[in-house]
Amino acid sequence: MKIETLAIHAGNHGDPTTGAVVPPLVLSTTFERAEDGSIVEGRDIYTRASNPNRRALEEKLAALEGGSEAIAFASGQAATMSIFHTLGAGSHVILPDDIYYNTRVIIEGLYANFGLTCTAVDMTDLGAIKKAIKKNTKLIWIETPSNPSLKITDIQAVVKIAKSKNIMVGCDNTWATPFFTRPFDFGVDVVMHSTTKYFGGHSDILGGCVILPPNASSSELATKIRTFQSVGGGVPSPFDCWLLNRSLSTYAIRMPIHAQNALKLAAFLEAQPQIEKVNYPGLKSNEYHKVAKKQMLGGFGGMMSILVKGGQKESMALASKLKIFKHATSLGGVESLIEHRFSVEGIHSTSPENLLRISVGIENIDDLIADFKQALA
């Protein structure tokens, strides 16, 4: 089945009791045993361990990413943490230098006690990745497009380097999502998502997931992450699972609009004298366009960043003149957002002071362009 159909039907097995077409929300934390006290086969026992809404969601997420099994968490951070947790004390991780800020904080902050260390490299520089590999390197983490410079990592090339050294490759696929990039097709070992973003799509559900590649169900990694979920307890509520499942029904319809709008907006902004540079991999002029074309088979996504001529003052002024684009963090929702990254990331930010990150929504593109026109006038 194709992604549009899976987004609607995967994981929905109907409800034999009521015949409901939409799966009911099961809030119960506990489930009755059989008359003789035995566990009823196929029935849940306790909601932290498993719940019908979470199971339905996980089935859909696995189907969308083309994986064998998805494991849902209460946030993207909890999902990332479950992967880092499997590495064991004293492990070393190679990360992109412009990674989602808090991913790095998990290693350098939360897991410093366990001797976890990391090296941040420019993932578009394969030589730098090779040089960063140590005896205890257990994981290479990819995030593409990168945040906030929209650098595109050649997934296949990184996997090749990692495989030659027996190192696991993880991919944060939050920005591209399987609509645009399918990391398992390029040999990645594990995929992570903040479902808060495009999967949720409406900026109203916090969530995350880990997805295992085809034929990896019940693998050692899957078992460890499942245990981290069900025993560690960083699980999403049944309502969050139900709502995310609902949002996913329109996921495959939303994504091409994000990408079409982003491409048109990027082309418009590139031609404006007040804009120094547009970072969008869909532009032919973009330095990563060739790699992007090789692996972003469904389009180039809805995220971009722009460098405004001037500094923080000029970029903040532009952001505040926009009326439809809201100045707020996060991304992937139906509404367009713009954010000055330097001021949100603080003094350790590697983001240029004149950079604005844009999450292009699914409003009418003429309105979005008109909004920039009036702000730049």
Ligand X SMILES: *Cc1c(COP(=O)(O)O)cnc(C)c1O
Of 132-171, binders to ligand X (CB under 6 A) are: 143, 147
* Residue 76 CB, nearest approach to ligand X (Å): 2
Of 176-205, binders to ligand X (CB under 6 A) are: 194, 196-197
Site map for ligand X, 75-94, x if CB under 6 A?
xxx-----------------
Given the complex with ligand X, which of 45 and 344 has the nearer CB atom?
344
In the complex, residue closest to ligand X by CB = 76
* Residue 239 CB, nearest approach to ligand X (Å): 16
Q: Which of 71, 158, 206, 265 binds ligand X (CB under 6 A)?
A: 206
Number of residues that bind ligand X (CB under 6 A): 15
Question: Of the listed pieces 9-17, 73-81, 290-298, 317-325, which binds ligand X according to CB under 6 A?
Answer: 73-81
3-state SS track over the chain: CCHHHHHHHCCCCCCCCCCCCCCCCCCCCECCCCCCCCCCCCCCCECCCCCHHHHHHHHHHHHHHCCCEEEEECCHHHHHHHHHHCCCCCCEEEEECCCCHHHHHHHHHHCHHHCCEEEEECCCCHHHHHHHCCCCEEEEEEECCCCCCCCCCCHHHHHHHHHHCCCEEEEECCCCHHHHCCHHHHCCCEEEEECCCCCCCCCCCCCEEEEECCCCCCCHHHHHHHHHHHHHCCCCCHHHHHHHHHHHCCHHHHHHHHHHHHHHHHHHHHCCCCEEEEECCCCCCCCCHHHHHHHCCCCCCCEEEEEECCCHHHHHHHHHHCCCCEECCCCCCCCCEEEEHHHHHCCCCCCCCCEEEEECCCCCHHHHHHHHHHHHC
* Residue 173 CB, nearest approach to ligand X (Å): 9
Residue 172 sits in the site that holds ligand X (CB under 6 A): yes
Given the complex with ligand X, which of 3 and 192 has the nearer CB atom?
192
Residue 100 sits in the site that holds ligand X (CB under 6 A): yes
Site map for ligand X, 301-340, x if CB under 6 A?
----------------------------------------
Given the complex with ligand X, which of 103 and 247 has the nearer CB atom?
103
User: Where along the sequence are the contacts to ligand X (CB under 6 A)?
Assistant: 75-77, 100, 103, 143, 147, 172, 174-175, 194, 196-197, 206, 208
